[in-house]
Amino acid sequence: MASITVKFYSLWRQYLGVDSVPLQADNLDEALAEVEERFGPHLREQLRADGVQVDGKIQDYSLILLNGTSLRNLKQTSLKEGDILQIFPPAMGG
């Protein structure tokens, strides 16, 4: 089991009141499940309070990077000691 760090940025950090949390997980699925369990309901509640309805789990409506690259690019799902999961909202306005 690897010790990793989960970091929240921008609005997600503000809503959750959490900057960074340590987490133990064998693989990405496990890590994401833990993140969802610990933070998903609260985040969605905060978003709803601001009139933003999102569906699914945190990974469905967030940008998530593992050590600086999107999870959407990754083929392997294993984690190693010291990995960092970076989670933040998709901001695409201009």
Partner 1 sequence: MGSKDIIQYIAESAEIYVAPDGKKYPVISLKAVTSITQTKGGLAREVEITALKQGITPWRYLRNTGTIGLDGQIKLLQSTVAVVGAGGLGGTIIELLARQGIGHIIIIDNDRFAEQNLNRQLMSTEKNLGDYKATVAAKRVKDINSAVTATTFLEKLTKENAHRLLKDAKVVADGLDNLPSRFAVEEACRDLRIPFVHGTIAGFSGQLTTIFPEDAGLSCIYGSSDSLPEQGIEVKLGNPSATPAMIAAWQVQEIVKIITGIGKPLRNHLLMLDAMEGIADNIELSRY
Positions touching partner 1 (CB under 8 A) are: 9-11, 13-14, 50-52, 63, 65, 67-74, 86, 88-94
Nearest approach, Cβ of residue 10 and partner 1 (Å)? 4
Q: Which is nearer to partner 1, 22 or 90 (CB)?
A: 90
The number of C-alpha atoms within 13 Å of 46 and in the hemisphere containing its C-beta is: 13
The three-state secondary structure class of 90 is coil
Q: CA dihedral in degrees (86, 23, 42, 65; nearest 10)?
A: 20
Q: Which is nearer to partner 1, 1 or 69 (CB)?
A: 69
